[in-house]
Structure 1
Amino acid sequence: MVRRMALPQATASLLGVILGATVALAQGAPTVVSPPNPPAGPQGTEMPDPSLSPECRVPGSKLYTLNKLKAVKTALKEKRPVRVLAIGPTSAGTGASATYPVKLETALERSLPEVDIEVDSRGLQGEIASGAAERLRGMVAEIEPDLVVWQVGTHDALARVEVEAFGSALDDAVKWIKSHDIDVVLVNPVYTASMADDAYYTSIVQKVQEVAGREGVPLVQRYEAMRYLSGSSDKGEGHMFGRQFRLNDLGLRCMAEHVTRAITLSLLQPDTAVTGTPQPVLKTLPGSPPAAQAGSAAQ
């Protein structure tokens, strides 16, 4: 388990937003650090989020869909450590991936000043969703997390798992986690130009989006974010990748920042928001078959 003392107050360049408005402030809730919305670009175009590192900056519409995080908010109000369980391939703790839990914890503590964050990383390289779902019960019983951050879909796509079977396993697992009053943030598959026209691969990406919307959980749109960053670099996606679909140090740092941004903004969602209502997802992905496109909402 990665555990450290919380970082000091965030720099003055970030503006503090009080969690839960005035009632939470009266209860002594900690500050959630979040800069103002980025200014619009020429002709109203959306600018990249300035809270991210320059090399990781992506417009919000290409980075996340948001929903409430009740369990994390409760931990903050109770002023106790926030326990995070990270699962998925880059949580496996081998090679460069071993640094991901530290990067995620550091990014979270910068956004949640004076809060102790405990990140427990339990990923397995090559694990598909159904395998992770089978292990979840034991992991949850042992760690008792407030939040599960689940990178999912990349290895299912590489293993050519049947799309509906993948979606069913993911949906069931998310429902089970939520039934135990634990929050979930999903992170969809990585992007590579070689897979961008693969209808099967993009249907897996779309399925993760559908589950996130149906179950009312935040989604980190890693696929779209990496596609955006690849297009803005003369190195394509290569500057974020190592070998064998594994993110390099920069890719892991950007993902930690992206996950943290989705968590921070989801914490600012009002308590009156309706859970389970499908959130906006990516516009139809190139190469997605008609079945994968059904029911998706364009941003």
Structure 2
Amino acid sequence: MRLPALAALALLAAIAAPPPARAITCDVPPEVLSAARPLPATARALQQGSLRVLILGSGSITGPGASGPDAAWPARLQALLAARFPGRSVEIALRGGRGITVHDHQALLRESLAAETPALVLWQAGTVEAVRGLDPDDMGEAMRLGLERIRRRGADIIILDQQYSRFLRANANIDPYRDKLRLVAAASSAPLFRRYDLMQHWVETGALDLERTARADRGAATDRLNDCLARALVELIAQGVAEAR
């Protein structure tokens, strides 16, 4: 039986068309969040209706998202925490910037803790030190002193390691700094948010790969990465709050 001309053309177009793109989700493997620890100060703050979070870090915490400041991961974290714990106010303060080391964070931390008492401190570290080839042991000791200061103020702590990047791995000896952050987190009983492993997982599964994203699509991919990281952090925080209760 011969197909009508229009039907035949439609069939040929369907055969030639590429398959639909598979749905991509920024899933979080359970082992990445296995470092969850009780976050009692965070749980108390949420029960009292107001959560203050201090984020220490380098360039990734202060750079806006591709589509604007609201797309940066700290801003997304604030919005997602407010949605996860409705009826509570969530305030986030940022301290740091491009090129800031752990030693620089010490002064920022003293100033911040003198001015207010956050319930939760997120400390992103290790990237600037790795790029500059600084002593990882010196970085670890400086973090230890800072973590003791935070504990004395009664705040919870989450340590964030580096972002995954082929360029970073090719141009810096990143592993000693990742190892040091793991040791520091374990010694202080602080959860380690394994950002490096999580981003590497998304690259290897094809979910998010900024370095191989077309330039025209990189802005949207950056916003998506920020949102995915914030969502994973919310899960880690929520687990810590549940364990504290």
TM-score, normalising length: structure 2: 0.78
Distance 1:219 1:240 in 2: 28
SS of residue paired to 1:84: strand
- The residue correspondences of 1:242-253 to structure 2 (distance < 5 A) are 248-253=222-227
Q: Which amino acid aligns with 2:52?
A: R
- Provide the secondary structure at the position in 2 that maps to 1:172: helix
Q: 1: CA distance between counterparts of 2:213 and 2:44?
A: 35
TM-score (norm 1): 0.65
Q: Does structure 2 retain, via aligned residues, the 8 Å contact 1:66–1:218?
A: yes
- 1:208 offset after TM fit, Å? 0.9
Contact 1:62 / 1:225 at 8 angstroms: preserved in 2? yes
1:85 equivalent in alignment to 2:48: no
Please state whether the residue corresponding to 2:91 is helix, strand or coil: strand
Question: Residue in 1 aligned with 2:40?
Answer: 70
Asked if structure 2 preserves the Cα contact closer than 8 Å seen for 1:240 and 1:251, the reply is: no
SS at match of 2:37: coil
Q: Which string of whole-angstrom CA distances, capped at 9 and with x for unpartnered residues, describes residues 212-252 of structure 1?
A: 1110111110010011001011874526899xxxx932222
Instruction: Identify the structure with bigger relative contact order (alpha carbons < 8 Å, sequence gap 6+).
Output: 2
Q: Structure 1 64/187 Cα, relative in aligned 2: closer, same or farther at 3 Å?
A: farther
Instruction: Assess if the C-alpha contact under 8 Å between 2:120 and 2:156 holds in 1.
Output: yes
Residues 57 and 96 of structure 2 are in contact (CA less than 8 Å); yes or no, is this contact kept in structure 1?
yes
Match of 2:234 among 241, 244, 260: 260
Inter-partner Cα distance in structure 1 for 2:224 and 2:212: 8
RMSD, aligned α-carbons? 2.7
Q: How does 1:1-299 map to 2 (within 5 A)?
A: 55-77=25-47, 79-89=48-58, 90-94=60-64, 96=66, 98=69, 99-196=72-169, 200-233=173-206, 236-238=209-211, 248-270=222-244
3-state SS of the aligned residue for 1:72? helix
Q: Look up the SS of the partner of 2:38 in the other structure.
A: coil
Letter in 2 for 1:75: A
What's the % identity of the aligned pairs? Answer: 24
Contact 2:49 2:89 in 1 (8 A): yes
Change beyond 3 A, Cα 1:63–1:237: farther
Decide whether aligned partners of structure 1 residues 57 and 237 sit closer, same or farther in structure 2, where only a CA change above 3 A counts: same
Kept after mapping to 1: 8 A contact 2:76/2:230: yes
Cα 1:239–1:71 shift into 2, 3 Å:
farther
Change (3 A) 1:240 1:204: farther
Q: Within 2, Cα distance between the matches of 1:100 and 1:207?
A: 24
1 or 2, which has the higher helix percentage? 2
Structure 1 counterpart SS, 2:96: coil
Unaligned runs of at least 5 residues, structure 2: 1-22, 216-220
1:100 is matched by which residue type in structure 2? W
Aligned equivalents of 1:175, 1:153: Cα separation in 2: 18
Between 162-171 and 55-64, report the one with greater CA deviation: 55-64
Deviations 1:164-196 (A, max 9, x none): 001111111111101110111111011112444
SS of aligned partner of 2:78: helix
In structure 2, what is the Cα distance between the partners aligned to 1:106 and 1:113?
10
* Contact 1:72–1:82 (CA under 8 A) maintained in structure 2: yes
- CA separation of 1:141/1:80 partners in 2, compared to 1, >3 Å: closer, same or farther? farther
Deviation at 1:122, TM superposition (A): 2.1
Q: Is the 8 A contact 1:88 1:124 kept in 2?
A: yes
Of 251-260 and 91-100, more deviation after overlay is shown by 91-100
